[in-house]
Structure 1
Amino acid sequence: MKEQPQSRRGMLSVISSVYDPLGFLAPVTLPAKVMLQELCRRHCGWDDDIPVEIGRQWKRWLEDLKGLTAFQVERCIKPKDFGQPIKAQLHNFSDASQDGFGTVTYLRIENSEGVHVSFLLGKARVTPLKPVTIPRLELAAAVLAVRVDRMLRAELELPLDQSTFWTDSTAVLKYIKNEDKRFHIFVANRVITIRDATQVSQWRYVNTNDNPADFASRGMKVGDLLNGGGWIGPEVSPWPRKGLACRHHRGRNCR
């Protein structure tokens, strides 16, 4: 990695040099993007020296980034000895926080003997400079998941079953399932996008602790990524479940 000056321009150059089209490293680069956004919020010039506290965070991130030299991932989405899949399905997770929002998609294939899950695509975006409530950010993350799912279904040369979408936001599930209330334009437009591309039955609740998209919205360190971390290969072999206990239905099965 080339040495760059500690300025807004130098930080952008380093962040942009991380080549990651499929989003394997999306949670790792998110904290750096948050720092860059903070400089924009403070109206720092492109070549001005960055504030001391952000400079310390930036140095720690650069040092952490060196660990990526040990990062490896299996790119084959179907093991050689897996045989002919009898079922293939996309599982899309979305999440949002005050710092960012994002989505991650996995391919779940099944044969007569077992299940294999592969990471397909991840995306992480920083939240807008203009303050937005968490429920609205969660809804924006859900829209991003829908768009990624639509793109992957068009590109993958596989016969796919109906996709499943997971969110840990009960507000998003209520928005999507609503039939009688009218929402403000921001919410209404995004709900229309979701309802036009998916069915209500495709949306399910997942506990925050089990949601891999949490890394896309909050970021993660390289060490956690190298140690498994739940981003590249989470424990998703039981999915989809016939019934999922969730808080918004007070412990009853969510169909």
Structure 2
Amino acid sequence: MQDVWRTGINWDDALPPNLLAVWKAWASELEFIAKLKIPRCFRKQSKPLEYELHVFTDASKAGFGACVYIRTKYGEENFSLNLILAKARVAPLRQLSIPRLELQGAVLGARLCASAVKELGPIASNVTYWCDSQTVLQWIHPTRCKYHAFVAHRITEIADTSKASQWRHLPGNLNPADDCSRGISAIHLTTQHRIMRVGGRHAHSVHSTCVHSGIRQASYHPGSHQSTLHHVDPGGT
């Protein structure tokens, strides 16, 4: 829709051949959405020992997005992980730099998390935010620098609902929010996709970290605003 808007054509005008092909391809994939089923219950019958929320944010030239997961612990090696919220937005017509788009994604993540915490109540008190932009993390952590109004206003909003110490870094290739910012075709958006595949054995390998098989633990380094990711065998149990 944004590409159509940029062309300046009227509502009653026929689409140019290149945009018409894109539209038809998109419309033909809508039927696959009906096959996607997302479990609404995020806890088992047994009483959980603790809950954690993990928020991922990302941006690209196309847009920015965020997703929120809840991690439920039942025992030392017994966890479940569920996607509970996600949102994506296209980049504005007024071109922004990638760091500013990443900051928009961080604001969106903070807003989504605030909504989740409001609905879930006390069980959602343990929250970790994940971002692959070092620039955004540098902005979020307090400094004596004075930022442009665009950055300052958004950092203030983020600070209103989160602490700087809750924001961690992870590599972009491990960030599930990357799919929110770049988009996924309906054909590939299945329960086996990485943004959805968060249950089973993929959950136990996450210890206060990110939702990705192969990651065991993340230790935070305040001086560099980075997390050291310790890998384990993804096929292990």
Q: Tell me, yes or no, if the aligned pair for 2:66 and 2:105 is still in contact at 8 Å.
A: yes
Structure 1 residues not aligned, in runs of 5+: 1-35
The residue aligned with 1:48 is 13
Q: 2:13 aligns to what SS in structure 1?
A: coil
Q: Tell me, yes or no, if the aligned pair for 1:205 and 1:244 is still in contact at 8 Å.
A: no
Q: 1:93 aligns to what SS in structure 2?
A: strand
The residue aligned with 2:99 is 135
Q: Deviations over 1:174-212 (max 9, x none)?
A: 001141111100001111111222111100011111111
Structure 2 residues not aligned, in runs of 5+: 210-216, 230-237
The residue aligned with 1:181 is 145
- TM-score, normalised on structure 1? 0.78
- Deviation of the 1:77 alpha carbon: 1.1
User: Is 1:70 aligned to residue 35 of structure 2?
Assistant: yes
Q: 1:189 aligns to what SS in structure 2?
A: helix
Q: Tell me, yes or no, if the aligned pair for 2:219 and 2:228 is still in contact at 8 Å.
A: yes
Could you tell me which amino acid in structure 2 is paired with residue 106 of structure 1? Y
Of 237, 240, 253, 2:208 maps to 240
Q: Tell me, yes or no, if the aligned pair for 1:106 and 1:119 is still in contact at 8 Å.
A: yes
Q: Tell me, yes or no, if the aligned pair for 1:87 and 1:161 is still in contact at 8 Å.
A: no
The residue aligned with 1:28 is none
**Alignment map for 1:197-208 (pairs within 5 Å):** 197-208=161-172
User: Is 1:164 aligned to residue 139 of structure 2?
Assistant: no
Q: Distance in 2 between matches of 1:47 and 1:251?
A: 52
The residue aligned with 2:55 is 92
Q: Distance in 1 between matches of 2:61 and 2:15?
A: 22
Question: Which shifted more, 204-213 or 158-167?
Answer: 158-167
Aligned-residue sequence identity (percent) comes to: 33
Cα separation, partners in 2 of 1:140 and 1:147, compared to 1, 3 Å:
same
Q: Deviations over 1:107-159 (max 9, x none)?
A: 11111251110110110101100000110010011011111111111111552
Q: Distance in 1 between matches of 2:93 and 2:106?
A: 20
- TM-score, normalised on structure 2? 0.84
Q: 1:118 aligns to what SS in structure 2?
A: strand
More helix by share: 1
Q: Distance in 2 between matches of 1:127 and 1:108?
A: 30
- Deviation of the 1:245 alpha carbon: 7.5
Q: Tell me, yes or no, if the aligned pair for 2:64 and 2:105 is still in contact at 8 Å.
A: yes
The residue aligned with 1:61 is 26
Q: Distance in 1 between matches of 2:75 and 2:56?
A: 26
**Alignment map for 1:75-154 (pairs within 5 Å):** 75-80=40-45, 83-113=46-76, 114-154=78-118
